[in-house]
């Protein structure tokens, strides 16, 4: 007996090597995902464009000039991707459009996250009538027609970026709340939580120190998928004319404005569409890779 145990341990050491932290393992899984890397590059480019828009855009996005209107891409070296109906540089507006999308999606995401965490956590943790109320609220918000009701909200509040963020986020939190609630329910009765409770920790303390770290991974996964869906909402509302106001550029609005004369000036509608599509596909690859890295069990199960 004395001889067999050390041998086993020694063998294990040779095979496994130095144990890696979960974060390192996740990073390794992530970097092995080729599509995920492509997605990461696309998302990184999108974010960089958004951050450095004032520096990299060749023109002011709102500079109009009637003589330069409707230039096709490549027609003039000064306007690489052409100009729109008021002679504004399309390339600059595309770059600034990335910024608009990112601002809206991050701000809306932050509001959704706070609402989802607070409501989902209270429902799962306290149960009883709080759980009942939150669940009914979720049912109500899920039943509202997603796009049509947001149009109504935008019309009531008025257009503009702040109201758009509110219209998107105030109706989109139920998904996160549901996730948080389900996760918290799973942890409520666990020994480490009860132990902490017995030691006199307050609810807030338990929530922040013990439960939140445990639900972080599914939360991160949910957020990586939620950001592109917010971008879709922003661009769809802007496309219909109930989103971003002039002169702020938004890809959806650019497409919406150009849809009527796409027969004569294809680039005004097609270029923002291409940008949006590439960014969406990039986010999808990125999100899949993040999920597979953080939750290896789902890698075999989920698509």
Partner 1 sequence: MARFLITRFSGMAFVLLVVSFLTFALMYNVPGGPFDQNKQPLSEAAMANIKRKYGLDQPFYVQWGRYVVNAVQGDFGTSYVAEGDKIVTLFGKYWGASLIFGALSLAWSIPLGLILGVWAAIKRNTLIDYVVTLISVVGITVPVFALGIFGLYLFSIRWKLLPYTGWDLVNEPLTAVLPVIIFGLLPLGTIARYTRAGMLEVLAQDYVRTARAKGLTFKVVVLKHALRNALIPILTVIGPFIPNALTGSAILERMFNIPGVGRYFIDSIQARDYPVIMATVLIVAVLWGITYLLTDLLYTVADPRIRIDGSKS
277: Cβ–Cβ under 8 A, 6 or more apart, which residues? none
The dihedrals phi and psi of 6, each to the nearest 5 degrees, come to: -60, -35
Q: Is 270 in the site for partner 1 (CB under 8 A)?
A: yes
Number of residues that bind partner 1 (CB under 8 A): 43
259 touches partner 1 by CB under 8 A: yes
For residues 145 to 174, the per-residue mask of contacts with partner 1, x marking binding by CB under 8 A and - elsewhere, is x-xxx-xxx-xx-x----------------
Query: Is the alpha carbon torsion for 263, 277, 103, 59 positive or negative?
Result: negative
- Rounded Cα distance between 1 and 19, Å, is 26
Torsion of CA 285, 291, 296, 297, to 10 degrees: -110
Tokens of 51: 């951050």
Tell me whether residue 25 or residue 182 sits nearer to partner 1 (CB atom).
182
Among 62, 86, 196, 273, binds partner 1 (CB under 8 A): 273
Q: How far is the CB of 302 from partner 1 (least distance, A)?
A: 6
For residue 123 the two structure tokens come to 């429902």
Identified binder of partner 1 from the candidate list 113, 276, 289, 290, rule CB under 8 A: 276
Minimum distance between the CB of residue 145 and partner 1, rounded to whole angstroms? 4
Q: Is 252 in the site for partner 1 (CB under 8 A)?
A: yes
User: What is the distance between the alpha carbons of residues 171 and 233, in angstroms, rounded to a whole number?
Assistant: 11
Helix axes 90-126, 34-51, angle to 10 degrees: 110
Q: Which of residues 216-245 bind partner 1 (CB under 8 A)?
A: 228, 232, 235-236, 239-240
Q: Which residues bind partner 1 (CB under 8 A)?
A: 136, 139-140, 142-145, 147-149, 151-153, 155-156, 158, 228, 232, 235-236, 239-240, 252, 255-256, 259, 262-263, 266, 269-270, 273, 276-277, 280-281, 283-285, 300-303
């Amino acid at each position: 007996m004395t001889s067999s145990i050390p041998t086993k341990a020694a063998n294990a050491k040779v095979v496994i090597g130095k144990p890696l932290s979960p974060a390192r393992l996740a990073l390794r899984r992530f970097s092995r995902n080729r599509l995920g890397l492509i997605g990461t590059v696309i998302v990184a480019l999108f974010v960089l464009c958004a951050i450095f828009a004032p520096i990299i855009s060749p023109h002011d996005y709102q500079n109009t000039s009637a003589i330069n209107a409707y230039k096709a891409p490549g027609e003039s070296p000064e306007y690489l991707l052409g100009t729109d109906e008021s002679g504004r540089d399309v390339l600059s507006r595309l770059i600034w459009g990335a910024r608009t999308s990112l601002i809206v999606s991050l701000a809306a995401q932050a509001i959704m996250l706070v609402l989802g965490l607070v409501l989902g956590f209270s429902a799962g943790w306290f149960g009883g009538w709080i759980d009942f109320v939150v669940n009914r609220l979720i049912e109500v918000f899920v039943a509202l027609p997603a796009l049509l009701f947001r149009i109504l909200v935008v019309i009531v509040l008025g257009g503009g970026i702040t109201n758009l963020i509110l219209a998107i986020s105030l109706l989109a939190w139920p998904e996160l709340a549901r996730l948080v609630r389900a996760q918290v329910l799973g942890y409520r009765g666990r020994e480490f939580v009860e132990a902490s409770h017995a030691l006199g920790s307050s609810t807030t303390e338990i929530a922040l120190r013990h439960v939140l770290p445990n639900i972080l991974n599914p939360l991160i996964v949910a957020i990586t998928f939620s950001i592109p869906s917010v971008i879709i909402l922003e661009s769809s509302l802007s496309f219909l004319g109930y989103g971003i106001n002039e002169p702020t550029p938004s890809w959806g609005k650019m497409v919406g404005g150009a849809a009527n004369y796409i027969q004569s000036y294809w680039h005004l509608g097609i270029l923002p569409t291409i940008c949006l599509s590439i960014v969406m596909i990039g986010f999808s690859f990125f999100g899949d890779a993040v999920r597979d890295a953080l939750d290896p069990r789902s890698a075999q199960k989920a698509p």
